[in-house]
């Protein structure tokens, strides 16, 4: 005797193709998908199916497109971004390392994320992740050096490290990437070298850009709380020294990166909260993907990501948790819930698509399809 098929239903169904639909369902027979589509249609076509309400979403699992696993032993703290960097990230740097990364990777696995984009600060963490992570995606080596005088030296040591790590990449594991930390913490000279190198080597890139309003102020006037904080952290180095040009009204981190030729290497831009409409157009034209971290942005007083404007411009958006120090948890499902709350005007289906398809595009993965004949996976039923 064969058992009856099951009709799983949810508020949102994303099959991995096109736009997610509302009030969808999937008919599963044994371990195989028999049909996926609008619930009412499936109900009519499969009257014998036993209906099981799955909850809010049926979809391939989401991707956590931006994390800092090696910061997982930090305590969560909410402060303005320009205070959070020195008081939390730098003050707590002894907590950053392999133990944090191992704790973080366990959390990622528990969350059910399909893949991740992780920013790596310690060489031993990079080596461990490349050889051990069962979660695929990209491990981006983070580079931070605002001093143009040391650009050549920093670039040479970066290249040497990358070349050494390349042989540790393995199928099913993480790929190597590069992350020039932020538009204001890497000198103009080093930015050009890193972007050119990443382009030539096919290394995916992530850059923190326009996270806090003070970053926009730094590029426009060279002043403000972030500029003051930078002056304390790197004394003797002016904003003009770092950028290789004077700050100016109308200059933004995005137009600056574009002028350096960095956007042309199609980096993934992380945060992008305090942007102009021209910045959004520039990102769209360059074909850059954008990652948003709604909880981290809120906790660091960054403002609200202009999601609808990105969607209108055709920019692919992805979701990331950032580190536990600003995002609280590494569970991308928590981030999806926060995105629904913090963007009440946005169609909730956009958030689901971003977390799955957008994230997959960032880390270069493939989204499994939920359609007739494919193998059913219980992980497609998202937790509430």
Q: Give the residue numbers marked as catalytic.
A: 211
Contacting Zn ion within 150-179 (CB under 5 A): none
Q: Please identify, using beta-carbon distances, which residue of 279 and 322 lies nearer to Zn ion.
A: 322
Nearest to Zn ion of 56, 301 (CB atom): 301
* Residue number with CB closer to Zn ion (222 or 320): 320
- H-only helix segments in 167-203: 188-201
Smallest distance, Zn ion to C-beta of residue 255, A: 22
Scanning the structure block, which residue is given the tokens 């790590």? 165
CA-angle at 75, arms to 70 and 80, nearest 5°: 100
Quote the least distance from Cβ 208 to Zn ion, whole Å.
Answer: 6
> How far is it, in rounded angstroms, from Cα 210 to Cα 226?
12
Q: Would you give the binding string for Zn ion spanning residues 309-328, x where CB under 5 A is met?
A: -------------x------
Token pair recorded at residue 218: 């730094």
CA dist 89 and 83 (Å) reads: 10
Q: Which is nearer to Zn ion, 70 or 145 (CB)?
A: 70
**Short-list 256, 235, 128, CA closest to 180:** 256
Would you say 252 or 292 has its CB closer to Zn ion? 292
Q: Are 362 and 114 in contact (CB under 8 A)?
A: no
Residue 342 near residue 352, CB atoms below 8 Å: no
* Residue 322: CB minimum distance to Zn ion, A: 5
CB of 241 to Zn ion, least distance (A): 24
* Two tokens, residue 330: 């590494």
Which single residue brings its beta carbon nearest to Zn ion? Answer: 322
Per-residue contact string for residues 266-305; x = within reach of Zn ion by CB under 5 A? ----------------------------------------
Task: Tell me how far, at minimum, the Cβ of 57 lies from Zn ion, in Å.
Answer: 25
Number of residues binding to Zn ion, judged by CB under 5 A: 1
- For the CB of residue 271, give the shortest distance to Zn ion in the complex, in Å: 8
Nearer to Zn ion by Cβ, of 258 and 322: the residue is 322
How far from the centroid of its chain's Cα atoms is residue 370's Cα?
Answer: 24
From the number of C-beta atoms within 10 Å of its C-beta (0-12, 13-18, 19+), residue 238 rates as middle
Residue 129 to residue 360: CA distance in whole angstroms: 19
Q: Which positions from 334 to 363 touch Zn ion by CB under 5 A, shown as an x/- string?
A: ------------------------------
Residue carrying the six token digits 């102020």: 217
CB 179 within 8 A of CB 198: no
Binding site for Zn ion (CB under 5 A): 322
């Amino acid at each position: 005797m064969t058992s009856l098929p099951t009709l799983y239903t949810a508020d949102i169904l994303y099959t991995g193709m096109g736009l997610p639909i509302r009030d969808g369902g999937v008919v599963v027979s044994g371990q195989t998908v028999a049909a996926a589509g609008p619930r009412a249609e499936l109900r009519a076509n499969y009257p014998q199916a036993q209906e099981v309400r799955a909850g809010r979403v049926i979809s391939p699992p989401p991707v956590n497109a931006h994390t800092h696993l090696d910061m997982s032993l930090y305590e969560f703290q909410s402060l303005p971004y320009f205070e959070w960097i020195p008081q939390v990230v730098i003050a707590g740097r002894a907590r950053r390392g392999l133990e944090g990364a191992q704790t973080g990777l366990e959390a990622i696995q528990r969350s059910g994320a399909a893949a991740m984009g992780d920013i790596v600060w310690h060489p031993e963490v990079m080596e461990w992740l490349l050889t051990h992570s069962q979660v695929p995606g990209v491990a981006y080596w983070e580079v931070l050096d605002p001093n143009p005088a040391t650009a050549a030296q920093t670039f040479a040591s970066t290249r040497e490290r990358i070349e050494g790590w390349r042989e540790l990449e393995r199928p099913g594991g993480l790929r190597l990437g590069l992350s020039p930390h932020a538009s204001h913490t890497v000198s103009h000279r080093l930015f050009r070298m890193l972007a050119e190198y990443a382009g030539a080597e096919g290394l995916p890139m992530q850059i923190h850009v326009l996270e806090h309003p003070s970053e926009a102020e730094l590029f426009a006037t060279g002043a403000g709380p972030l500029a003051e904080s930078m002056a304390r952290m790197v004394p003797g180095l002016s904003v003009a020294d770092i950028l290789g040009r004077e700050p100016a009204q109308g200059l933004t981190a995005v137009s600056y990166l574009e002028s350096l030729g960095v956007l042309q290497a199609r980096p993934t831009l992380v945060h992008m909260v305090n942007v102009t409409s021209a910045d959004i157009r520039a990102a769209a034209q360059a074909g850059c993907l954008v990652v948003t971290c709604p909880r981290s942005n809120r906790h660091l007083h960054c403002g609200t990501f202009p999601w609808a404007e990105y969607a209108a411009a055709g920019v692919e958006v992805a979701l990331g948790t950032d580190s536990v120090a600003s995002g609280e948890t590494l569970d991308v499902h928590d981030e999806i819930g926060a995105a629904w709350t913090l963007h009440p005007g946005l169609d909730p289906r956009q958030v689901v698509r971003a977390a799955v398809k957008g994230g997959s595009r960032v880390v270069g993965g493939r989204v499994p399809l939920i359609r007739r004949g494919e193998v059913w996976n219980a992980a497609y039923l998202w937790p509430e």
